[in-house]
Amino acid sequence: MSSRFVAGMSVEEVLTVCARVNHENIAATLDSLGESVTTEAEAQKSADIYHQLLDAIEARKLNANVSVKLSQIGMDFDPALTERIAGEMVAHAHRVHSFVRIDMEGSPYTEATIAMTERLAKQYPGAVGTVLQAYLYRTATDTERLLQQGIRIRLCKGAYKEGPDIAFPAKADVDANYVNLMKRVATYSNPQTHTGVFCGIATHDEVIVNHMRHFVSKQKIDQRAFEFQMLYGVRRDLQRRLAAEGYGVRVYIPFGPEWYPYFMRRLAERPANAIFLLKNFFKN
Ligand code: FDA
């Protein structure tokens, strides 16, 4: 079952899957799965895979970028090392006209992730962005903060367990916040340059996806001013439909030998995911 959601063990396998996805007119972001690392050598080893990916994306002309978690490149034991490694990755992406998305982890990482993204974006504008989670109260403020700097946001609901002191406990409130933030990123225009910020609407929630479709059509927002993002293997029917309608669609493709903890954590973090996985296993 995992092979539906994880694109194999090796770089070669994920590149093959990426080419297949691209063939359906769907872009990709490649995620080399890894657990939190505890040594500099492990952090560098994780980064080396990303450098290989960036080279291969360029050489094969794939429509893809990469997504990385800071804990995978040393954030738990040496943030300065992490920033050096992340900086090298973003510099590489900048050189080959690609992009590094810094995934967002649990709330202990939120501020540090945003701040590091801001510093890297100053050095390499357009080559790095991060993820904001609609379940956090602080996200409305963070959205303004990143938009004003022209930093690309992937907007998601949030996948970690957070307390009611910092996150909306009720799903309905998370969904409502998501919709508000989604409209904000879609309509933002820099007062000086009059340009928007290209953002990712990362959700499989069809109600929200439809809300966005109607909103952009009513507001006459260019379909290509943003993209929908979904996980590899989840709601493939919806991914294809949106791509056929002319929307930008990007799938997040995880791969690597460390798939098992990733897969189990997703199930454990949100037990409902087990049901989603089963239900979607039988959907196209
Ligand atoms: P919601 O959970 O409300 O589900 C709505 C519907 O979508 C379900 O009824 C089901 O049909 C379908 N669905 C949702 N998840 C599914 C699944 N796993 N399998 C099958 N069907 C599913 N989180 C985070 O904290 N940091 C991050 O960096 C990222 N990055 C990220 C990238 C991309 C491209 C996506 C799509 C998601 C993330 N996430 C994330 C995860 C995100 O925060 C969230 O946990 C999941 O996307 C589930 O929320 P939905 O918005 O899809 O809706």
> What's the confidence (pLDDT) of residue 3?
73
Q: How far is it, in rounded angstroms, from Cα 179 to Cα 185?
A: 10
Q: Is the CB of 253 under 6 A from ligand 1?
A: no
Is the pLDDT at 261 greater than 70? The verdict is no
Residue 275: burial class (beta carbons within 10 Å; 0-12, 13-18, 19+): exposed
| pTM, entire model | 0.93
* pLDDT interval class at 67 (50, 70, 90): very high
**What's at 191, amino acid-wise?**
P
* pLDDT interval class at 269 (50, 70, 90): low
Max Cα distance, the chain (Å) = 52
Residue of 104, 117, 154, 156 best suited for mutating to test ligand 1, as the one with most atoms within 8 Å of CB: 156
Q: Specify the higher pLDDT residue, 36 or 170.
A: 170
Is the pLDDT at 284 greater than 50? The verdict is no
Enzyme catalytic residues: 103, 154
Q: How far is it, in rounded angstroms, from Cα 154 to Cα 230?
A: 11
- Contact between 125 and 109 under an 8 Å Cβ cutoff? The reply is no
DSSP secondary structure string for all residues of 63-91: SEEEEE-GGGGTTTT-HHHHHHHHHHHHH
Is the pLDDT at 280 greater than 60? The verdict is no
Q: Specify the higher pLDDT residue, 123 or 233.
A: 123
d(CA 132, ligand 1 centre) in Å: 13
Q: Is the CB of 153 under 6 A from ligand 1?
A: no
Is the pLDDT at 283 greater than 60? The verdict is no
